Structures are given as structure tokens and as C-alpha cells.
Structure 1
Amino acid sequence: MAQTDCDVLVIGGGIVGLSTAYALTRAAPGTRVTVLEKEQGPARHQTGRNSGVIHSGIYYRPGSLKARYAVRGAAEMQKFCAEYDIPHAQTGKLIVATERGELPRLHALVQRGRENGIPVRELGPAQIAEYEPHVRGLAAIHVATTGVCDYQQVGRHLAEASGARIRYGARVTRIDRRPERGVAVRTSDGAVLRGRVLVNCAGLHCDEVARLAGDEPGMRIVPFRGEYYELARPELVRGLVYPVPDPAFPFLGVHLTRGIDGGVHIGPNAVPALAREGYGWATVRPRELAATLAWPGSWRIARRHWRYGAGELRRSVSPRAFAEAVRRLLPEVEADDLVPTAAGVRAQAVLRDGTLVDDFLIREAVRTVHVLNAPSPAATASLPIGREVARRALRALSGT
């Protein structure tokens, strides 16, 4: 069997795994890093299937990892894109209240943004029209530091710039971890790779990888599919337009995003996926679905959020219902303006009691660092996240 010796084995070639490899080789030159990615290229799942937004950090609780990493990461991501000539733009965005009941939550976002050090401008209806002539609302806030980029290109440049050895088509099937000998990983092609420390950045499969390593993560990944449409009349939207989020649910709601390619994406909704990589209703993997249904937290989510979930399912099967949600922000939209496009799947960590893990969750074990929840804004914040994971991996490495 082929063998590769290295200092750190990183499982997962999405943006967090690649940022970790990038940070490792910069923080400790000479560190031998190998990245194992089961697909034939980088950033094929969550990284490459989102709206491409560089988030400002306005939504996140002050002092949380999400807030700190997003604010720092937004500036770093734009700098990284400029350095490597990756298409990007600082567009700014509007968060729009369309009902009076949303106004207190909008004002709370203003305060949260200021606590996080983010410049925020409050707008009335006439000022909304100055930014977005076709958008209607009672009030809004403008967040100037939001932008867009191509995260798949970011992933490719991180892979090239990291200096790590990256093995594609290397699905991990077994992990043998021994404190005195290090970590050995077997891949689907029969290769065995040995490292001193293992970093788990497997995204949609991170809990499974943790269990392969012999660690009980205390959570399970419950996949939610986010479905998108493309706007057939992109001239109706100049930039980024978001609703006021519902703090009881960790998703931001259907929003409008003019991407770096000039097209306008609408979405996502959030419906249960029937597989961890279930990008459509036709993709069903019984073993993965059974594991989701066997986790007590899944049923507790369903009982707690069934009304919200019913609305999301309705919008999934009915373009007209989806258009109704969009018309709250953009009244001129009709169902015929919505063109289906690629969906994404979010790896949502759920605790046994049904709690949706809202922040980054990184746990350490013997010779191992597990990234168990990397929610939005993980792509935005990937450079500082990568440094934090690398710091922990280097600490584990020095302890060996």
C-alpha cells in the first residue's frame, strides 16, 4: 500500500480545510501538510454552492467567534481576492423591514452592527429607493462593508498557495489513531497515509469523521438544502437586498444577491435534505436519512419549528409561493421571473436536545482537531478560522 508521511493530515478540501493548510504552512514553514479531499477538485460542496457573499458580520452576537471572524475575515477576504486577482466587489447591502413588527429587530441590528464595529446607515422609504429603485420597505439599513466574490476561485488559489500536498479522490474510510504512534488514515483507493496530527474539516461529514477517529462529537450534522432561483430580469436589483432575519431560526431568509457574474440569485429557502449531498428531492441516501431520523435532536427541531418548516416546504414545491416571499421585497416579481438554478446544502450541527448550534464549534482530542460546525459566514471568515484551527493543530503537534 502506498504511504505518505506528513506532520498534519487535513480531511476536507473545502474552504476551511484549505485555509487551515494555508495557515499551517505560513505559521510554521516546513510543516508537511497533506489535504485529503474525496472529490476530484476543491470546494465542490458548501464552498462552491452558496451566494458568494462576503458578509460584514452585522448579524452575529458581539464577542462570538462568528462576529470576530466575520468582521476580520471580510477585510482579509477582499484583500486576498485583490492579491490573487480573483473577481470580487464591495457592493454594500440593504436589510429591509417590510412590516412594522420587524422594525424593533431592524433597530436591534443597527445597535449590534455598531457594537461589532461595522458602519451602518439607517434609511427611510425614499432613501431605500436611492439604492434600490424597485425595492419597497418601511425602513432599512445599509451595510457598506458587504461584498461578493467567487469562492470556488478562492478555494483553488488557497490550494495552490498553501504548498500542501492535496490528494483528490481520496475518500477516508478508516482512521487508526494511537497516541504513541500518530494517526493513520486509509482512503477508498487503498492508500494509507500517516501523520502526527489529524484535522477534521469534513463539513457535511465532519461528525462521521469524528466517530471514525474514535471521538463522540456530541452533535450530528442535519443537512438542510437551500434552493435558489436566478432572476430573469436582473435589472430590477442593483446589489444585495436582505429581509430582517427571524432570530428564532438560524437562516437569513430569502434574499436577493447580484453576483460577481452580474446575475441575480434569489434564495435560499431551507428544507430538509434527504442526503448529506442531497441537492434535489430525487437524491435519497437511505443510510444517511436513517441516521438523521435516529438522532433525537432532529425530531425536536421538527416539533419546535414545524410552522416555519411548513412554509419552507411550500416554497420548495411551488414557484408561486417562492415568488410571494420575494414580492415582500421586490413587488414587481412574478413566478415567471424565477429560473431554477443550482442548490446548496448546509451542514447544520444539531445537539441531542434539538439545539441548532449557532456558532463555530471546534473540539480537540488526542492528536486531533475537529471542526464540527462552520456555519455562515464560514466562507467569509475562512482565513481567520484557518489560522485558529492551524494554531490548535500546531499546539497538538508540539505536544507530540
Structure 2
Amino acid sequence: MSIWQDQHVTVVVSGGIASYKAIYLVRQLMKQGATVRVTMTAHATEFVTPLTFQTLTQQPVFSDEFTMQDPKHVGHVALADWTDLMIMVPATANLIAKVANGIADDAATTTILATTAPKYVVPAMNSHMYANPATQRNLAQLQTDGLQVLTPATGMLAEGYVGRGRMPEPDEIVDWLTQTLIDQQTDLPLHGKKVLVTAGGTREMIDPVRYISNRSSGKMGYAMATVARELGAEVTLISTPTALTQPAGVQYIEVLSAAELLTQVTAKFATTDMLVMAAAVSDYRPVKAVDQKIKKQPGQTGLTLELTETADILKQLAAQKTGQFVIGFAAETQHLLANAEKKLAEKKLDMLVANDVSQPGVGFNGDTNQVTLLTPNSTPVTTNLLSKTEIAHSVLTAAINRGA
């Protein structure tokens, strides 16, 4: 379950050119599982209509404190009491000044003043307005009062020149909010734990332009890293190059070959509480990679490539366990349970996640997966076909229940 699930989030929109970005932020928060309501200043309604937010959130938009939507409740107090988390985005210099000085003269600012939930501020304005001593003084006051303030980005402003004051992109804001929520919740099941995740398919070079690899996209490993972070862990992701965006709040280390992966994982293993070995490691590598590109020769009918086994990283590390919980992955195309049970026993794993990649919607490159979870002395458990994020939750929940 996402850390945002069932959170009541109030988004305060003030009047700036970046107001339209609040639409995308609201959508992102809803995708994460939050219930979102919006309150707007009068100036904000000149840039984006309340109907836009009402249609998107399927919640009433509070933009006029003198319009009673429910005669039994005072509008700004009812919304304030409903709120678990408030974010002001974009926060103009005017809104920041009012909040810093306790001014409540419209629907948005009266709601802000009445809200006791954690408050987050995303300033967005012209660079000269942002740098003005009065604005900086007001931002400092907000932080003194316990509000969290996100530093604006540097980029092209509405005025046509580059400066600091640009509103960060909605994805960046969600990442910032998520990390703050995680840091504040010490009761998360993996709080205080160090989780090491590997992802992607290793590459074993043949020559400078060719390599041996596999079809792994890295999506399952990235999902494991993301969910582990949401469950409170300090996460390190060791990955081969992928087309995926690096998960926010996670230490990222890039490797290419099985040998590089072994070196990096070994260096981290002693201080790790849980290893999630989701990377698809090449079983073989060329005995010798040549320095120059192998050219096709006239009359040549074939090419012999001599291979040797790569190191069995999972087996080596599992043998060195001093309390770490080690999770392995097995992609099979036949005899799933027999092969998985053999791997679980031979490599002395605490859990093995096996999947039959010959089945539609399962395994490589897709966004869904279906796995069988095997643990020593227990009956295997097979999941439904789920998103890889849901699979990651299932795997980590099972590991936590096993004492990880």
C-alpha cells in the first residue's frame, strides 16, 4: 500500500503563471492514492477555473469563504479539520507574506490559518521577487513556524529569461513530499533497515560494441527499491543501465557486468539487513573480450565464441550471511517449482521469487508479473497476475512476516 493511500490532502492554489501545474500535481497525488481537495485564492481563479479542479478531484472547491456549501459547517474550519497534509502550490510572494504574518482574508488563507496538519510550501515567482529580502524573511519565518519549504528551480521564467523562482515539476514535488512523509513515520515496517536491491540485466562484453545480456528491463528491481523505500527502509539500488527513471530517495549505483555487480554488492552486504537480488545476471561471459570490433571476414561462414561461467553472486553472498535476509529471483520457462525449490535449497536463501516468463503478462519488460514465493519449510504461495509494484508489496510483506 502506498504511503499516500487514504491521505486527505488539501492543495492551496494561489495566482501565478505556474497555477496550471497544480492540475498535474493533483493528478499525481490522486494516482498515489490520496484524496485531494482544493482551495484557491481569487487571483488563482483567473489562471485556472475552480471547475477544472472540481472535475478532476470530484470534490467541492473552496474559493469563496462567504458561500456556504454546507450550512452546518464553517467552510474553512471544516476543510482544515479534514486535512491530513496541506501543500501550497504555487505559493506566490503574496500568499507567502500573508501566511508568514498570520493574515487570513480569503478562503485560502483562512483555511491555512485554521489548519493544524503539516504544511508544505512550494514558492513560484519571478526571480527578483524571490530574492527580495522581504520574501526571504517571510520564507524564513515559515520555516521557523514549522512549515516545510521547497527551494524553487532555476529555469526559464514567464518573463522570458532564466532565473530562480520556477516551480519544480509535479513529479519532483511528489518525490519531495513522499520522502518527507517517510522520514516522519517511524512506525513503518522497514524503518531503520538497510535494504540492498539489484536490478537490470548484466552485460558481458564481446568487443567494444557487442555484449551478451538478456531481456531484463529492470522494472521488477526498481519496483522493489521504490516499495522498500515507501516502507521506511534506507535503500541502495545497484543497477545496470536501463530506460527507467531512478527512484527518488534511493542511493543509486550503476554497474555493467556480473563482476562489477559482485564487487559492489559485496562491498555493501556486511552492513545490509536485506538483499533483494532482482538483477538478471548473465550465466556466461566471453573468456576474453577483444579490444577492437570483430569485423566480418570475406568467406567467413561462422564464428566461435568461447564462454566461461560468471560468479554465482547469490550463492556466494548467502554463504556469508550473518543475519541478513536474502531474497533471490528465478525466471523459468519450464518446471517452475522443481527448479525454484532446487535453487532455494542450493543457495541457502531465505526466500525465492520465481516466475514463469513463458506465460503472457509475466516477467520481462512488462508492467505486470505473477510469482510464486518459496521459503524454507513452507508451502509455496502463488500470487495473482498483478502490477510489479503490487508484486513488490507482496514480496516485502512476506519477508517482513518471516522476520526480515
Q: Of the two, which has the highest radius of gyration?
A: 2
Q: TM-score of the superposition, structure 1-length normalised?
A: 0.20
Q: TM-score of the superposition, structure 2-length normalised?
A: 0.20
